[in-house]
Structure 1
Amino acid sequence: MKSKPLPPSNTKEKKKLLEDTASDMISSFEQQSNLMIQELKRSIVISKKMFQVKTKYIQDKIVDLDMKLGEQISTAQIDNARCHQKHSAQLEQVLVNVKMETGRMYAIQREIKEEVKRLEQSVNQKTTCSHPPEEASTCAPSHSPPRDDADKPIGTKPEVSLQYYSRPQPTAFSRESQLTKAKDQEQAGASHSSTRHSKASPNVPEGPSQKPQNENNSFAPSDNHQKMSQLWKAIPRTADWDTFSGKSKYNHNLFIKQVDMYAQDYMMRNYMIVSRLGILFTKTAKHWYINMRETHGSNPWDW
Structure 2
Amino acid sequence: MREYTAELGGHGFHIREWGAADAPPILALHGFPEYGGAWAELAAHLPAYRLIAPDQRGFGQSWAPQDTDHYKTAKLVGDMSALIGQIGAPVTVLGHDWGAAVAYGLAMFQPALVDRLIVMNGVHPAPFQRALAAGGAQTAASQYIPWLRAEGSENILAADDFAKLRALFAAHMDMSWLAGGRLEDYLAEWARPGRMRGMVNWYRASPLVVPEPGHPAADLPHDKLRVPMPHLLIWGENDTALLPEATEGLEAYCADLTRATVPDADHWLHHQQPAAVAQIIRDWLAR
Q: Which has the larger radius of gyration?
A: 1
More helix by share: 1
Highest relative contact order (Cα 8 Å, sep 6+), 1 or 2? Answer: 2
TM superposition score normalised by structure 2: 0.22
- TM-score, scaled relative to structure 1: 0.21
More strand per residue: 2
